[in-house]
Amino acid sequence: MTDTDQHAAATDPALLDALREHVQGALPATIADLSALVRLPSVSWSAFDPANVRASAEAVADLARSTGVFAADDVRIVRSAFEGTSSDVAEEHADEQLGQPAVLAVRPARNGKPTVMLYAHHDVQPQGDDALWDTPPFEPTLRGDRLYGRGASDDKAGVMTHIASLRALHAQFGDDLDLGVVLFVEGEEEFGSRSFRTFLREQKEHLAADVIVVADSDNWSAEVPSITVSLRGNVTFKLTLTTLEHASHSGMFGGAAPDAMIPMMRLLASLHDDDGSVAVEGLTSYDGPVPERSDEELAADAALLPGVRPVGTGPVLSRMWFQPSITVTGMDVPSVANASNTLLPTVSARVSVRIAPGQSATDAYAAVERHLHAHVPFGARLEISEPDAGDGFLVDTAGWAVQDARTAMREGWGADAVEQGIGGSIPFVSDLAAEFPDAQILVTGVEDPDTRAHSPNESQHLGVLHRAIASETILLARLAAR
């Protein structure tokens, strides 16, 4: 068969119908399994009981075995050390240096077929204030089209999307499946993926894949899917300006001796133009198409007060996805209650820079440093410390995996996918891209605008779950036909 013939085979209407039927028929079991996962309060933060994360890893490993896709020995629970941990840690402390348990299951590819890695995470955010939940956070509750509970969407529905798709694939192809499959379900995404890079290095030979499907993102709406094609990077740092050796009475010296706040205000003001767009030379923007969003919609979504105008220029979504932004997120100054008539000798600010996809965090940080040194007024002493950087991410949308994903989403959702950017960062996606530069990464998800991930009353839209499973199953069938 030629490449095109194989392709046609994967979209054969009879096969599509069969796959859809497997998915639909299994939906009650899928929702029951999702509910069982939600009952496990697998909060990965260090102050919470790790036994719950271990129980949830065991449950996910059982689900992986239940797909029929993996040999029993090829489903493992793995813990890796935090990055930068020395190997001669005393034995009694060794456990504290290990990350939360991940589940790794591998089915090797056969007959020259590609390998796909399916990523999700089984840990969850803390539930926060119980009183803000309408129903108990770890008691899965069905209301209308939605299943409520912490992790019901982020990202236990992502886990179940992979499990249910693999079950449907197994129901259709049985042992004839030649596609290589790596299932990787992380246990500490919500706690900074502290052992992620060690895990990638240690397990590299098992993880190698041609296509990576990350099920941990958003959809345009409950009816329209999204492929996330770009993420912004970010850099944060502490900026300190010092002008005096000690504080002085503002009535004695004010007007001649510069307190540190005058240069700080002027320096921070130099970061933006009058229209509020970023004014740092060397920070780039990405040029890509964006869907329309009006100023009024932005005002409603971001809760702008009446009369407050948006900042920046160009299409609203281009500002949020493809242009840099700079935010001052904290300042060390005396509080208003403690303010005395004093010239402040030193002032510090925390600055957060979102970087356009396509620019490296290192280059962006260098540009911001150059700008600050060039614009600091009155000879104030400038110190930049505590830098923390993460690269953005840009998908090559011409790749064959993205084309397969577009087709599979149309067939699974009955609607064309919106190719969307995300203004925030998913640091592990850039880690994956760095470790596997040749893999095509597809960032998909099961959330919709009403999901409220990380917040009280998080929920999963069950229609979205159904459509996400259908489209992932079809995608895997297409990859298997390559």
Contacts to Zn ion by CB under 5 A: 154-155, 216
Q: How far is the CB of 128 from Zn ion (least distance, A)?
A: 16
Closest CA to 123 of 185, 47, 46, 187: 187
Q: What are phi and psi of 115, to 5 degrees?
A: -115, 135
The residue from 189, 190, 447, 458 that is catalytic is 189
Measured between alpha carbons, how far is residue 5 from residues 10, 13, 19, 95, 112 in Å?
9, 14, 19, 52, 17
CB of 121 to Zn ion, least distance (A): 6
The structure tokens listed for 52 are 């719950």
Judged by beta carbon, residue 20 or residue 197, the one nearer Zn ion is 197
| Alpha-carbon span 399 to 390, nearest angstrom | 24
Q: How far apart are CA 301 and CA 309, in angstroms?
A: 14
In terms of CB distance, is 119 or 237 closer to Zn ion?
A: 119
| The one-letter amino acid at 438 | D
Of the pair 204, 454, the CB lying nearest Zn ion is at: 454
Q: Measured between alpha carbons, how far is 287 from 318 in angstroms, rounded to an integer?
A: 8
The minimum distance between CB 217 and Zn ion, in angstroms, equals: 8
Can you state the percent helix, strand and coil of the chain, rounding each to 5? 40, 25, 40
* 392 vs 389: CA distance, rounded Å: 10
Q: Closest CB to Zn ion among 154 and 391?
A: 154
Between 324 and 445, whose beta carbon lies closer to Zn ion?
445
Helix (H) or strand (E) holding 338: none
Contact indicator for 64, 107 with CB cutoff of 8 Å: no
The enclosing H or E element of 247 equals none
CB 266 within 8 A of CB 377: yes
**Which lies closer to Zn ion via its Cβ, residue 124 or residue 343?**
124
* Shortest Å distance, C-beta 189 to Zn ion: 5
d(CA 156, CA 38): 7
Q: Which amino acid is located at 344 in the chain?
A: L
Q: What are phi and psi of 272, to 5 degrees?
A: -125, 150
Residue 292: strand, helix, or coil: coil
- Give 155 or 391: the residue with its C-beta nearer to Zn ion: 155
Minimum distance from residue 248 beta carbon to Zn ion (Å): 51
Burial of 160 from C-beta contacts in 10 A (0-12 / 13-18 / 19+): buried
Cβ(158)–Cβ(121) below 8 Å: yes
- Residue 123 appears among annotated catalytic residues: yes
Catalytic residue, chosen from 33, 74, 123, 411, is: 123
Helix axis angle, 361-375 to 261-269, nearest 10°: 130
| Pair 432, 209: CB distance under 8 Å | no
To the query of whether residue 259 is one of the catalytic residues in this protein, the response is: no
Q: Output the smallest distance, CB 120 to Zn ion, in A.
A: 8
Transcribe 117-174 into DSSP letters: EEEEE--B-----GGG-SS-TTS-EEETTEEESTTTTTTHHHHHHHHHHHHHHHHHHG
β-bridge mates for residue 180, sequence order = 115
Active site residues: 123, 189
